[in-house]
A and B are shown apart, each in its own frame.
Chain A
Amino acid sequence: MAEKEKSTDESIPEAFPFIRGKTIDLCPGNSKHAKLYVKWKNDPKVRKYSRNEVPRTLEQQKKRFEQRGERFRDHISLDIWHKKDKKPIGQCGLGWVNWVGGWANAFLFIGEPEYWNKNIATEATELLVEYAFNELNLNKLQGGAAVENVGSWTVAKKIGFKLEGIRKHSMYVDGKFVDAKTNCLFKKDWVKSQKLKNN
């Protein structure tokens, strides 16, 4: 039976696209991929700037799929699903969603290093931003990254995030304190930029 479920049959999907992109789709998490998530979260290369300083067990990861289902939430996580290669390669989402203030913290990581530097983070962030503003009607998004994590804030900059400030010694990476940039994007500025793009 387990073999059959892996068939390419459209009606027994492996992924449930929630937002469709070009090379990737954003999908809800899937407990079938719990092992993969654990691998990413423990991988030294991947977790370096993600503040995953304590190891994550498979049991902890599986638990995350049990106690859920609340109607409203302040944390939204999506898998980045590679359409051609038919597998999840990372995650992105919105954390600390403040529904009164209308803002959230955007996060993203590509768990499979072979997919780094392929513009995938940019595409995923674009989809995430559109979702946050056009579907959830948020007003402001924030994104933080270590100053030396050039890859991360280059993506933010491409999409229109502006530097809000630098927090001194806000992270501890590989034996030393590092500063982190906080970038932000307001809905009104994003809407304007989208209009320019479409004209």
Chain B
Amino acid sequence: MSEVKEDKVFPFIEGENVSLCPLNMDHINLYTKWINAPQTRKYERNKFPQTVEEVKKSFESKNQTVKESLFFEIWHNKDKKPIGYIGFPHIQWFTRSAYIFYLVGDTNYWGQNIGTEAGKLVVNYGFNELNLHKITARVLSPHVSSRRVAEKIGFKHEITLKKEVYIDGEHVDILEHAIFKEDWLKSQ
């Protein structure tokens, strides 16, 4: 186990198995590992290698008063360690819409419903605290597990962008799934 100082863990939203905490720059090496790892970056379109300094900068530069992007660390309550990150990479405040991004970087936790649980927490936060109107999830068509997460959270397919991105030697579709505040509130 890595030495995670517990006094530096600040849960912002608490869930059953995971909590959402502010990003912690003590864990920058882990974030950098996930962002570069072939297994996790494949469908995230991280096509350039990124150094620790670059990853730090990409998280820090978004530290505006009105945030256009907002990320949380996914913290595993029982195992007491960060296992991924999640958030809104691009918030449009006038239309009150945002894209959602989720990544379980620690592959040991794949297939355990973590993405769905964290996704529900962040969607609820987006609608009930940030008063967003619409949240969109962009998923590459071959990325079945991510699509399942979107559907389990309650996102509905809205549009397919034909052969929009280039992955592993071929062009693939992007599927956009969306969820509206009113539908989310009804489902709760």
Contacts and interface: CB of A to CB of B under 8 A. Distances in A.
A12 B30 CA distance: 7
A87 to B, nearest CB: 17
A23 B1 CA distance: 27
Given A65-B53, A69-B58, A135 B38 contact: no
14 contacts: A4-B3, A12-B2, A13-B29, A13-B30, A16-B29, A16-B37, A17-B38, A27-B36, A28-B32, A28-B49, A28-B50, A78-B49, A135-B166, A191-B169
Contacts of A134: 168-169
Most buried by A among B33, B49, B54: B49
A69 B53 contact: yes
Contacts of B48: 73, 76
A183 B112 CA distance: 49
Interface of A: 4, 9, 11-13, 16-20, 26-31, 65-66, 68-69, 73, 76-78, 133-137, 191
A66 to B, nearest CB: 7
Nearest to B165: A137
B57 A69 contact: yes
B47 interface: yes
A137 B167 CA distance: 9
B49 A137 contact: no
Contacts of A11: 1-2, 30, 81
A139 B168 CA distance: 14
Contacts of A9: 1-2
B47 A68 contact: no
Interface in B161-178: 166-169
